[in-house]
């Protein structure tokens, strides 16, 4: 009888176990907050730029007519000053949008504008042409006042981190100044002259960077870019190519002025540090 009673109690306990287990609280899996990089943003940047200028200048063969003398020709000439490097700080702003795929690939587009004072001066050390127009001591000053770009972005996100590459077109406002010194040749004085011109040069820019999301709306980052600009031609004004007694029958002092043209190409490298504010793009994605 006792054995039957104990066996019955055991059977009841086994039958009740599933019901009791069903009533126990179940621990939920941990909530994982997934950051994404969707959204448009605006921000500020600052950093440093390096530039390498390659200059040349030339004058065409020029003929002038003088009273009692007739036509006098100053022959063509060319100058190749030393290649020069410059560097400057930079400060600007950027605006862009990013889209992140479910596979965490990030695509985007960004435009930026930076003020800078990249400048350098090259001096002609030895005559480099067949004419006598350019002389040692003539100098050329290069300046870049601002730089802008529009670029595509392609990268991979790792939650709060984004690693990306970027490439696109760039534009820079570049000026070239000439300073042709006064000189004396064969006892005949040649007067000084100067000229200046500026152009917007187009170029191709490529680089990469990394960004970190501080919050849903704020991120910081650093970026390196290399930019190569197309060669530009600059009108540098007249320079005296032939001066003095240009008459065999009368003393006539004068100069044949030649119009000089400068040629410049430019390459820059830069490191920029960025702070962006992303506009609200909806709730942060949560997954279990």
pLDDT tens-place string over residues 96-114: 999 999 999 999 999 999 9
Contact 151, 235 (CB under 8 A): no
Strands 188-190 and 285-287: unpaired
Can you tell me the mean pLDDT for 243-264?
Answer: 77
Tokens for 148?
């802008």
Whole-number Å distance between alpha carbons of 255 and 238: 11
Report the run of H or E that residue 4 belongs to, with start and end. Answer: helix 2-23
The CATH number for 30-287, chosen from 1.10.3720.10, 3.40.50.880, 2.40.160.20, 4.10.520.10, is 2.40.160.20
CA angle 242, 246, 247 (to 5 degrees): 170
Kindly indicate the confidence band of residue 70, based on its pLDDT and cuts at 50, 70 and 90: confident
pLDDT for position 184: 87
Contact 145, 117 (CB under 8 A): yes
Whole-number Å distance between alpha carbons of 24 and 227: 65
Whole-number Å distance between alpha carbons of 178 and 176: 7
Question: What does the pLDDT look like over 147-174, one tens digit per residue?
Answer: 999 999 999 999 999 999 999 999 999 9
Kindly indicate the confidence band of residue 284, based on its pLDDT and cuts at 50, 70 and 90: low
Question: What does the pLDDT look like over 32-59, one tens digit per residue?
Answer: 556 889 999 999 999 999 999 999 999 9
Radius of gyration of the chain (CA): 36
Task: Indicate the SS3 state at residue 145.
Answer: strand
Domain boundaries, the chain: 30-287
Res 119 pLDDT > 90: yes
pLDDT for position 20: 46
């Amino acid at each position: 009888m006792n054995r039957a009673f104990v066996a019955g109690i055991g059977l009841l306990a086994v039958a009740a176990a599933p019901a009791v287990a069903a009533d126990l609280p179940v621990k939920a899996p941990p909530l994982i907050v997934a950051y994404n990089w969707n959204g448009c943003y605006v921000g500020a940047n600052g950093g440093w730029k390096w530039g390498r200028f390659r200059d040349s200048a030339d004058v065409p063969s020029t003929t002038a007519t003088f009273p009692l003398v007739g036509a006098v020709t100053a022959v063509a000439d060319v100058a190749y000053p030393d290649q020069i490097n410059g560097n400057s700080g930079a400060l600007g702003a950027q605006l862009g949008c990013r889209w992140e795929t479910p596979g965490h690939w990030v695509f985007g587009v960004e435009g930026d504008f930076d003020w800078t004072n990249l400048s350098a001066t090259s001096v002609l050390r030895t005559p480099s042409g067949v004419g006598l127009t350019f002389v040692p001591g003539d100098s050329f000053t290069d300046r870049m006042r601002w730089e802008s770009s529009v670029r595509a972005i392609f990268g991979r996100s790792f939650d709060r981190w984004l690693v990306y590459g970027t490439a696109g077109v760039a534009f820079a406002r570049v000026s070239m100044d000439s300073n042709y010194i006064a000189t004396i040749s064969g006892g005949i004085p040649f007067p000084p002259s100067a000229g200046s011109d500026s152009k917007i040069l187009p170029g191709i820019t490529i680089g990469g960077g990394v960004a970190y999301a501080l919050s849903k709306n704020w991120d910081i980052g650093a970026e390196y870019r290399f930019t190569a600009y197309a060669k530009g031609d600059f009108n540098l004004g007249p320079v005296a190519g032939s001066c003095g007694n240009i008459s065999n029958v009368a003393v006539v002092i004068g100069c044949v002025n030649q119009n000089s043209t400068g040629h410049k190409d430019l390459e820059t490298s830069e490191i920029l540090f960025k702070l962006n504010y992303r506009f609200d793009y909806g709730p942060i994605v949560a997954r279990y």
